[in-house]
Structure 1
Amino acid sequence: MPKVEPRSSKDPSLEQRLRWPESGSKLAELPLFAPLSGPVVPLDAVPDPVFSTRMMGDGIAIEPISDSVVAPCDGIVTHLHRAGHALTLTAENGAEILVHVGIDTVHLQGRGFTAHVQEGAHVQAGDLLITFDVDKVAREVPSLQTMILVANSDDYSVAWRNAGSVDAGKSRLMTVRRRDPKDTPLIRASGEVAAARGPAGAGASEKLAEAVIAHHGGLHARPAALVTAAARRNGCDITVSFGGRTANARSVVALMGLGTKEGDRVTVHARGSSAEAALTNVIQAIQTAVAGAEAAPAAPGTALPKAIDSAADLSGAALTGASASPGLAVGRVVRLDSVDVEPPAALHDLDGEFERLAAALTTVRAEVAAAIRDANARHARQEHDMFVAHQALLDDPEIVSAAERAVGKGVSAGVAYRKAVNAECAVLSRLGNPLLAERITDLRDLERRVLLAMSGHALPEPELFAESIVVADDLALSEFTRLDKKRIVGICTARGGATSHVAILARALGVPSLVAMGPTLFSVPHGKEVLLDATAGRLDPEPTAERLATARKAMADRAARHAEALAQVTLPAITRDGHRIEVAANIATQTDAADAVRQGADGVGLLRTEVLFLDREDPPSEAEQRAAYQGVIDALEGRAAIIRTLDAGGDKPLPFLPLPKEDNPALGLRGIRSGFAQPELLDTQLRALLGVTPIAACKIMLPMVSDAEELLFVRGRVDAIAKELKLTERPSLGVMIEVPSAALLADQLARHADFLSLGTNDLTQYTLAMDRCHPGFAEKLDGLHPAVLRLIARTVEGATRHGKWVGICGALASDLEAIPLLVGLGVTELSVSAGVVAEVKARVRTLDYEACRKQTLVLMNLTSPKEIRARARALWPDT
C-alpha cells in the first residue's frame, strides 16, 4: 500500500497553495485519472437525482469492476465521510474532487468499506484511498455506480470527459478547468448579472441559520419562486440544505427537488459581503406561508349545480375522474393530444448553438412577461401568479446551466434544453409528491415553447366548436390561456390534479372540469357530443337523447332564472312586506367597481386593499393609495364604498412586512393587529382614505377587531389625522365581526362604530375551531351552524341597541339557501360577488321579512347545519 503522510503543520496553508494560476500554468487545467476500473456512465444516467441533476456538482460516474479506489490526482484529503464510502480531495489548483462509491451507501454506516487515508493526508495520483467488499455492498444498495464530481462546480468546469471504459490509475477520466473570474455566464436570469460565487473577498462574510418551512405542501412552485426572488436580491451565494441534499437558492427546480414538506427544518447558508441581509431575506421567504387557492376547498353552502342524476342512472360507458370545478355541460369534444415539438436541426456551430439557446430563452421570457402584464391589466390575480411561477422556472439557473454545459459538449441547443428539462422532470416525478409532480406540466410547456422559439414555428390554433369540451393529457397553462374561453363549456384531462394551475383557473371561470381520468379518456373521439357532470365526477361519452334533454333543460332553467334576475337588477331588493336589503359587491380594484355597477350593485360592501400591497418590496405610497381609492369611488358613480384597511398576516403574508414567525398565525398578528405592529403603515393608509372625495362616499372598516379598545385607538388616529389635514368631516368607521369576542361585545362596539359587518368565513372557523383551509373540515365548516347563527343574532341585537346597521361580507351572503335566515336575523346589507348580485336581489324579492324572522327563531334551535339547511329548503324552496 502506498505510504501517505498526514499534512505537516509546517506546510504552507491551503489558501497560499491554491492561488489562481498564471496564464499557461500547468495548473490551469487539471487532468483527473480514473479512480476505479470499469465502463464510464454519464451523470444523466445515474439513477439518483441528487447526482444526475448535478446538485452535488458536475462530473462523471463509473460502473466499477474493481474493489479499490485510488487518487485521481495529487491533493489533500479535505473530507472523509465517517462511513468510509466517500471522500473529497482538494487539488493544487483548488478544485474539490468528490469520490462517492455507490448510491445510498451511507446507510451501510461503514459496513464493507475500509479507508486507507485520513483527513489532512497528502496523496499523489494513484495512491490507494478506499477498498470495499464488492459482493457485500452490492447486495445492500441500489447501485455500485461511483461518482467522481467537481464539488465546487461554480468555480471549476469539466473541459473534457472520457466516454469509454477506463483502468484505475491509468486512464484519463476528465479534465477540470478553473473558470476565469472575468468570465460571465452566457445566459442570465431576467437579464440580471449573476452574483460572483468564487471565494469570499474582502469584507465578505458567511452566515448560517435554520428555518422552518411554513408553506403548505413544502417548497413547491410558488413558494420556491418566492425563495429564489429573495435569494436574488443580494449578491451572495446562498444554499438551502435538507436531508443531506443542498440546493442553489436561486433555482426553483433545485429547491423543489429537496422534497420538503410543511414543518421541515432546513439549513440556509449565505456567503458574501451582504450575507446577513441575504440570509434574513431567504429565511423570511421560507418561513412566510404563501397565500393562494391551490388547495382551498369550495365554500360550503355556495349554490352549485347538483348532479342531474344518481350514479346508478349513468351509462355503463361513463368515465370518471376527480372534480376540479363542479358543474354541468353538454358539448363536443376537442382533442388537444400532445404535440411533440422536435428540436431544430443542429447548426454544427458552437457559437451559433449558444446564440440560438440564448435567443429562444429571451423570446419566451418576453412572452411570459407580456402575459404577466396582461394578467395584471385584467386584474387576473391567479393567472398572474401562475405566469410568475413560469417565469421563475424559465430563469432557473440549474436548467439553463445544464443546457449550456450540454451545448458546450457539442449537443445542439434544442436537444440540450430538452435533456435539461427531462432531468428536472425526473427529479420531481421521483419525489412522490402529487403537488410537485403537477409542475412537470409547466416544465413541459416551457420546453415546448422554447423549442418552438428556436425553430421559429408556432403550434396551430385548435379549432373550437360553439360548445367545446376540451380533452387533453394534461392541459398546460399557455395552452389554456390561448383558447377562446367563450367557446369552452368543459375541460377533461387524463392526468393532472385539483391543485394544477389550469384547475384553479377553471374554478375561477366557473368552467366544469374533471382531472385524473386516465388514458381511457382518449377513447372518446374528436367532435363527439358528450355530457359532462363534473359535480358527480363523470363524463358520459354516449349520452342518451333523454339524458341530453334533461341536462339541457336543467341548464336552460338556470340560465333563464339568471337572465330574469339580470333584467330586474336595477330594482331595489325589497321583501314582499316592504323590508329593504342593500345588496353590495365585494371587490378589489377600480375595474371590479365598474363591473359591480354594471351588475346592479347598490355599492361596495368590501374593498380588499391587499391587492395594492402584494408582490412589492416596499408598501405603496400615500399618493398611490389615494389615487387607487379615488378611482374606486369615481367608478361607483355616486354609490358608497366600504374600504377595509390592510388585512395582512396569517394566510396573507406581505414580502415587505416583517412579521415574526408564529406557531399559530391564525391567532397572531392578523388584520388590525398587524396595523398596530406597524403604526406608520396604518397611518399612511388612513391619510390616503381621508383624502378621498367626497368623504361621505368612503366608509372605513377595520378587520379582526376583538374589542372596543382597538376600535377606539383607531378612531383616535382618524380624528388626529383629520385634524392635521384640517378636515371638518369624518368618514364612517365600522368594524368587521370575525371573532366570537367581537360578536359577544357587539353592543360595546356599536356604541363607538358607525356600522358592523360580519366576516362569516373567519367567524365560522374561529367559532368552530376549524381551519377554513383544511380540506377535511370543508363539509363541517358551514356558516349556518347554529352557533354561528346565534353569534350573528347577538351582533344584530347589540347593534340595534345603538341604532346601527349590520351587514355581511363573507361567503354566507352569496349562499341563496342562507339568505332567508340572514334576512330573518335582521341583517340589512349583503355584500356578494358581483356576478351573483342579480340572483341575490331576486331571492330577497321572493321573501316575507316577518315570516323569515319567525322561522329563523325556530331554526336556530336545531342542532346541526344539515338540519337547518333541510328545513330552509322546505320553507323557502325557490332557490
Structure 2
Amino acid sequence: MPNNNNPLTLSAPLSGPVLALNSVPDEVFASGAMGDGIAIDPLNDCLHAPCDGVIIHVARTGHALTIRADNGAEVLMHVGIDTVELNGEGFALLAKDGARVSEGQPLVQFDLDRIARQCKSLVSLIILTNSDRFELQPIASKTVKLGESLMRIALRTSAPVQTAVDNSVTQVSATVRITHRGGLHARPAALIRKTAQGFSSQSQLHFGDKTAACDSLIGLMGLGIGEGDEVRVTSRGKDCEAALQALVAALSVTIQEEQHAPVIATPRRANTEANVLQGVCAAPGLVCGPLFRMTGIELPQDSGNHSVDEQLQRLDAALEQVRGEIRNTLDQARQRKNVEEEEIFAAHLALLEDPALLDAATATIEQGSAATHAWRDAIQAQCAVLLALGKPLFAERANDLRDLQQRVLRALLGEAWHFELPAGAIVSAHELTPSDLLQLSAQQAAGICMAEGGATSHVAILARGKGLPCLVALGSEVLDVPQGQRVVLDASNGRLELAPSEARHAEVHQTRETQKQRRQQQQTQARQPALTTDGVTVEVAANVASSAEAQMAFDNGADGVGLLRTEFLFVDRRTAPDEQEQRQAYQAVLDAMGDKSVIIRTIDVGGDKQLDYLPLPVEANPVLGLRGIRMAQVRPELLDQQLRALLQVSPLARCRILLPMVSEVDELLQIRQRLDELCVELELTQRPELGVMIEVPAAALMAEQLAKHADFLSIGTNDLSQYTLAMDRDHAGLAARVDALHPALLRLIAQTCAGAAKHGRWVGVCGALASDPLATPVLVGLGVSELSVSAPQIGEIKDRVRHLDAAQCRQLSLELLDLSSAKAVRQACQHHWPLS
C-alpha cells in the first residue's frame, strides 16, 4: 500500500458553503471525537473522491465511506447528519469497498430532497480520522465548488507532550456487580450495546473465562451473566475513560423486567382435575372459544451448491425487509407512547444488526448453504447457547431470536404472515413470538395459550399491554388438543379447561357480557357531567395534540381540552410555523370542541426535545436545561409569535393559555405583562385566562404565590414525578419506579391545591396519573377539580367519579400522605376504593 508521507491537498467532494467542524449540529462530530475536519452544506447530489486512494470502508447504508490516500491519511466522508436512519434509501453507491479511485471520481449519488425532509441536517462531513498522525490546514473559507482546493493534509512533525502516549491503545478496566433483574438478558444488553456505540473506543465484557464485545447483543447475552454476578469491563481507545464510566453506570442500573404490577408466576402443577391443563398466568382474563393451533415454518433439506453472491444478496434483502417492518412497529409504538413495546422491538432491531449472528449466517452461505438454512442454523446455534445457560430468563430471550428466524425466513420465502383465525379463536402454540402476538391481536384473537414460555417473556408483556388473556407453560399436552375444540381459558387462575360444560360456557359469557355492558354504559353516559355522590363536580377533559384528536375527545364526551400540546406544529419540519399557520391550527381545535373550553400549552421544547431550526447548546442534563418557559427567555420572538396567534382565535373566552416549566413567580409575571401588551397592540378588550403548569417541585412549593397571579394551575404529574424522585421517566431501568402515587408527590399535589384554594383558583391534573382510575379518588380528595385524560378513558373516569363520596375521599386521602411508598398507597387505594 502506498504511504509516501507527502503533503496532500484535498479537492472539494461537494459544492456548497463551508462550515467549521464545531458548528456542525452533531455533538460527536462537532467535538472532534471522530477526528479533525471540515463540513460542507451540499448544493449538488453526488459525492466525489477528494484525492487518489483506496476505499477502505463503506457504510452498509451507503451514507458514508472512508478513503486511504496515498500518503496514509484516512479521510471519512459522511453525507448528512443521522442519515444512517434512512437505511440506504436515497443513496446509490458508485464505487465498491476496496476499489482504487481517482480524484474527482463519483462515489455516492444521493437524494438531496429526501435527506432534507427526513434527516436532521444536510451538512456533510470530511473528517481526517487519523488526526493523531496528520494535521489539517483548511484552504477554502466560505463557499467551495466541486473540485476546488478544500484543505491541505500533512504529516505531523511533532506532537504535544501529552500525546506522547498513543491514546488509541490506552486501556482501562473496572469491575462491577450486575444489578439488572434477571441478569444481562435482551433489554439490558441492548442498553449496554447502545452505550458502547456512543464511543469510538472498543469495549468488552469479561465473565469467568468468557469475553464478549459490548456492541454485540448476542455476545453479551451468551455470557450468561445473572443478577448479582461480578464482571470486568475493559475499554481501549481515545475516549476509553468516558466509555468505561458510561458502561459501568449502564451495568449498574436496575432494569425492571416489568413496568407495571408484576405477574405472580407459580410453577406449573401436575394436573389435579380431569380435562384441565394447569399453567402460569402471563396476562389475566377469562374467555371461551375454539382452539386454533399455530405452527412455525419448517424447511426441506438443503440441496447445497448455491451461488454465494446470490444467497448473500437474498439474505441482505430479507434482513432489510424485516428491519423496515420492525421500524414501522417502532414508529407506531412511539406514537402510542408504548414504551414496553418500543423497547422490545428496539432490541429485535439491534439483534438484526448483531455481528455474531450475521457473521455466522454469512460463513454458512459461503460454505454453499441456502440463505434460508444458513439463517435458521445461525439462529438455532445462538438459541442453543442461551438455552445451555440453564436460566429461565435467557431461555425466554431465545424466543426473540426465534421470532427473527421466522420473520426473515418468511421474507426469504416470499410468504406473508398467513394464518386466518376463526372468530373468537383461542390460539395455541409451542411458543409464540412477539411479532406473532401483534398479528394475532390485530386479527382479534380472544386469548393465547402456549406449551412453553414464561410470565416475564416479551410475548407476556405485549399480551398484557393488549389486554389479551395469556397462559404459558402448559406443557406439550396443549398441542394435542384437537383443532377447533371449544375451551375455556381462565388465565387469571392459570387454567385451560378442555371440556367445559354448557353451564360453564354460559357463566363465562355472562361475566364477559357484564363487563362489556358496563363499558358500553360508561360510554353512553360519557357526555353527562361527572358528579360525586355528594354533589361535587369534577371536570373530565382530554389531552390532545391535534384537531383530529380534539374531535375524538369531543365525540368521547370530553368536558373540554385540558392540555393541547402545541409541539405537534413545530416538530418534524425545517422551519418554524408562521403566525397564520399556528392561528389556523389552534382555531381548528377550538372548532372541534363545540362550546367547550380549550387549554393550550405554549411550546415546550428545548433540552431533550430539539428542533432542527432552533439551535440550542448541547446540554449535559437536558431535562434540567433550557425547557419550556426558560427557552422563551432565550428565544422570546418564538413565544411572541405563538401568543399573537393564540390571541386571534375566536371566541377568545374559550381559549386558556398554559405556561410550562415555570419555577418562580417572576417568570409568570413577565409573560403576563407581555400578554397584556400584545392585547393592547391587537386592540383586545379581554385577556384569555393564563395558567401555570406545576411540573417542578419549586412550583408546587410556591403554588400559593403563583395562584395569586395565575388564573388556574395544572399539575403535570409525569415531569413532577421525575423531578421530585430524581429519576428520569424515560430511563429504561428506572421508569417502573417513577410512580406519581408516591407519598412525596401526593404531598406536593395537596400543597398545590391548598395554595390555589387560598386565592379561589382551581387545580387540574393533566399528567398520566389523571388517567389512572385507582388514583381518581385520591386526586378528588386532595382538591383537584379537573382531570385531563386520554380520550378513550373519559367514560371510565367519569363513571369512577360518580361512584365516589368526595367527603370520604378527602378524609382518606389525607391519611395516605403518611404512608411509606407508592406501593403502600396503591394497596390502600385498592382497599378503600376497589376497582371492580
The interval holding the TM-score normalised by the smaller chain is: 0.5 to 0.7
CA distance 1:519–1:293, shift in 2 (3 Å): farther
Counterpart among 195, 205, 218 of residue 242 in structure 1 = 205
> CA separation in 2, counterparts of 1:414 and 1:857?
66
Counterpart among 251, 260, 264 of residue 298 in structure 1 = 260
Partner of 1:807: 764
Shift of 1:583: 0.6
> CA separation in 2, counterparts of 1:715 and 1:209?
54
Larger Rg: 1
Q: 2:707, 2:759 within 8 Å by CA — same for their partners in 1?
A: yes
CA distance 1:380–1:822, shift in 2 (3 Å): closer
> CA separation in 2, counterparts of 1:378 and 1:743?
29
Name which of structure 1's ranges 730-739 and 463-472 shifts more when overlaid on structure 2. Answer: 730-739
- Partner of 1:623, secondary structure, is coil
Q: 2:526, 2:795 within 8 Å by CA — same for their partners in 1?
A: yes
Letter in 1 for 2:425: S
Counterpart among 361, 369, 376 of residue 418 in structure 1 = 376
> CA separation in 1, counterparts of 2:448 and 2:311?
39
Partner of 1:530: 487
Counterpart among 334, 358, 361 of residue 316 in structure 2 = 358
Name which of structure 1's ranges 443-452 and 348-357 shifts more when overlaid on structure 2. Answer: 348-357
- Partner of 2:292, secondary structure, is strand
Partner of 2:670: 716
> CA separation in 2, counterparts of 1:644 and 1:498?
43
Partner of 1:349: 307
Matches within 5 A, 1:324-403: 324-342=282-300, 345-369=303-327, 371=329, 383=341, 386-403=344-361
Letter in 1 for 2:783: G
Q: 1:196, 1:237 within 8 Å by CA — same for their partners in 2?
A: no
> CA separation in 2, counterparts of 1:439 and 1:292?
18
Q: 1:859, 1:871 within 8 Å by CA — same for their partners in 2?
A: no
Shift of 1:802: 1.5
Query: Is 1:599 matched up with 2:561?
Result: no
CA distance 1:437–1:519, shift in 2 (3 Å): same
Query: Is 1:456 matched up with 2:456?
Result: no
- Partner of 2:446, secondary structure, is strand
- Partner of 2:708, secondary structure, is helix
- Partner of 1:555, secondary structure, is helix
Matches within 5 A, 1:705-784: 709=664, 712-713=666-667, 716=670, 733-737=690-694, 742-759=699-716, 783=741
- Partner of 2:788, secondary structure, is strand
> CA separation in 2, counterparts of 1:590 and 1:335?
44
Shift of 1:750: 1.7
Partner of 1:253: 218
Query: Is 1:408 matched up with 2:366?
Result: yes
Partner of 2:440: 483
Q: 2:632, 2:638 within 8 Å by CA — same for their partners in 1?
A: no
CA distance 1:418–1:486, shift in 2 (3 Å): closer
Partner of 2:754: 797
Cα deviation code 1:341-387 (max 9, x no counterpart): 44764354333333333343344344445555666787877656544
Partner of 1:442: 400
CA distance 1:476–1:599, shift in 2 (3 Å): same
Calculate the TM-score normalised by the size of structure 1: 0.60
Structure 1: unaligned runs, 5 residues or longer: 1-14, 17-178, 185-190, 662-667
Query: Is 1:511 matched up with 2:468?
Result: yes
> CA separation in 2, counterparts of 1:414 and 1:183?
34
Cα root mean square deviation, aligned: 5.9
> CA separation in 1, counterparts of 2:189 and 2:458?
15
Name which of structure 1's ranges 764-773 and 834-843 shifts more when overlaid on structure 2. Answer: 764-773
Partner of 2:539: 582
Q: 2:534, 2:806 within 8 Å by CA — same for their partners in 1?
A: no
> CA separation in 2, counterparts of 1:419 and 1:507?
32
Query: Is 1:853 matched up with 2:816?
Result: no
CA distance 1:542–1:426, shift in 2 (3 Å): same
- Partner of 1:713, secondary structure, is helix
Cα deviation code 1:660-688 (max 9, x no counterpart): 77xxxxxx874677668977888698568
Letter in 2 for 1:402: A
Q: 1:227, 1:286 within 8 Å by CA — same for their partners in 2?
A: no
Cα deviation code 1:83-134 (max 9, x no counterpart): xxxxxxxxxxxxxxxxxxxxxxxxxxxxxxxxxxxxxxxxxxxxxxxxxxxx
> CA separation in 1, counterparts of 2:206 and 2:739?
37
Calculate the TM-score normalised by the size of structure 2: 0.62
Counterpart among 555, 559, 579 of residue 512 in structure 2 = 555
CA distance 1:877–1:416, shift in 2 (3 Å): closer
Matches within 5 A, 1:134-149: none
Aligned residue pairs total 665
- Partner of 1:346, secondary structure, is coil
- Partner of 2:492, secondary structure, is coil
> CA separation in 1, counterparts of 2:832 and 2:629?
46
Q: 1:672, 1:703 within 8 Å by CA — same for their partners in 2?
A: no
Shift of 1:558: 1.8
Query: Is 1:833 matched up with 2:790?
Result: yes
- Partner of 1:640, secondary structure, is strand
Q: 1:317, 1:542 within 8 Å by CA — same for their partners in 2?
A: yes
Matches within 5 A, 1:685-704: 686=639, 690=643, 693=646
- Partner of 1:488, secondary structure, is coil
Letter in 2 for 1:570: R
Structure 2: unaligned runs, 5 residues or longer: 4-95, 102-114, 120-125, 136-165
- Partner of 1:504, secondary structure, is helix
> CA separation in 2, counterparts of 1:266 and 1:604?
51
> CA separation in 1, counterparts of 2:586 and 2:452?
42
Name which of structure 1's ranges 478-487 and 639-648 shifts more when overlaid on structure 2. Answer: 639-648
Q: 1:641, 1:699 within 8 Å by CA — same for their partners in 2?
A: yes
Q: 1:296, 1:774 within 8 Å by CA — same for their partners in 2?
A: no
Q: 1:297, 1:778 within 8 Å by CA — same for their partners in 2?
A: yes
Shift of 1:728: 7.8
Q: 1:347, 1:353 within 8 Å by CA — same for their partners in 2?
A: no
- Partner of 1:836, secondary structure, is helix
Letter in 1 for 2:383: C
Q: 1:765, 1:771 within 8 Å by CA — same for their partners in 2?
A: yes
Q: 2:179, 2:254 within 8 Å by CA — same for their partners in 1?
A: no
> CA separation in 2, counterparts of 1:401 and 1:835?
47
> CA separation in 2, counterparts of 1:478 and 1:728?
58
Shift of 1:289: 10
Q: 1:585, 1:601 within 8 Å by CA — same for their partners in 2?
A: yes
Partner of 1:566: 523
> CA separation in 2, counterparts of 1:571 and 1:702?
30
